[in-house]
Amino acid sequence: MNSLLYSVPPVLPFPSPAHDSLPGISTGKLPLRILANTASKRKPKGQTDDYHSTLKALNSKGRFPRKSLGQHYMLNGSVNEELVAAANVKEGDIVLEIGPGTGSLTNVLVDAGATVLAVEKDPYMAALVRERFAGLDRVKVVEEDFTKSHLRSHMSSIFPRKSPGDGNSSSAKVVANIPFNISTDVVKQLLPMGDIFSEVILLLQDEAALRLVESSVKSSEYRPINIFVNFYSDPEYKIKVSRTNFFPQPKVDAAIVAFKLKKMADYPRVSSIRSFFSMVNSAFNEKRKMLRKSLQHICPSPDIEAALCSANLPPTSRPEELTLQDFVRLHNLLVKTTYLI
């Protein structure tokens, strides 16, 4: 039989104990399947997706995972349980899922009682998810490139369905196993949407997750995206997920990251968000230079030095030495000199 199910060699459905652990656990490293069952303390009501069910679903559409779309399908239902548990999804929640694939995570979200808006670029996978949840009005599938989607419009079509007594109708959540190749675009699009979403739970490439969450001042990985992430959210690295949980198996491990989104009233106080990030990006464009040099197109170097001193920072400061709050103070001082608007 020339089918996908028989043409692909099996992979390990569970991760190696040596790779996956929960931070702070002192009793030794446990397999993720054990951690998932312990931490989540619940089992999916429906059938759990695994290696064979995933390949069978793909084969039903004659599909192979497409590298151009960054498609890596989850084979371990326990990881999906961890994603849903990290978001604390409850009955009546509204959840945005990006790239539902075969619908394995969608299934766990539905079993948890959520109404799901699934955005899928691949028309074959969109059709598969529609068929899988046909007749269930709590799943809406939008066939669209998420990075170009009209997200606010789509979310507004979901919210009116909920009544005040249906749980948390004031904000939604994002729970998604996203393609690694669009992770930065997804983060940039979602984090400023604290007026719609309360939490964003993503399964990301592990290295990218660490860069977003744990990169600190004076680190070689410290970049404008770290300022962006902390401006709009409180990020938390949850758990590492072995690459053996995916089909096809990627060359890197993954990680679950939670972003608790801030409301606009809780953003750092800057007169203009656009000018603030313009200044930050300019500073990092010449990362090795002192700010009095990299920002001299904004105002004269002596004025930058004066602003740095007023912010209790050395006049020789470089961008990787400034925290989010340091950049906020510097921006606001430069605004007072009318160089920034």
Question: Which residues does the annotation place in the binding site for S-adenosyl-L-methionine?
Answer: 72, 74, 99, 120, 145, 177
Q: Is the peptide bond before 10 cis (omega within 30 degrees of 0)?
A: no
One-letter identity of residue 268? P
> Exposure string (b/e) for 168-201, b if CB count within 10 Å is 16 or more?
ebebbbbbbbbbbebbeebbebbbbbbebbbbbb
Is residue 255 a contact partner of residue 206, using CB atoms and an 8 Å limit?
A: yes
Per-residue tokens: 94 = 């509204």
Residue 132's closest CA among 92, 102, 172, 176? 102
Residue 49's closest CA among 124, 108, 129, 120? 108
Binding residue numbers: 72, 74, 99, 120, 145, 177
Is residue 315 a contact partner of residue 293, using CB atoms and an 8 Å limit?
A: no
Angle between helices 123-132 and 104-111 (to 10 degrees): 30
DSSP 8-state symbol, 48? P
Per-residue tokens: 297 = 């197109």
Residue 151 has φ and ψ, to the nearest 5°, of -65, -40
* Residue 243 Rama label (left phi>0; alpha psi -120 to 50; beta): alpha
The count of other CB atoms within 10 Å of the CB of residue 268 is 18
How far apart CA 96 and CA 234 sit, in angstroms, is 19
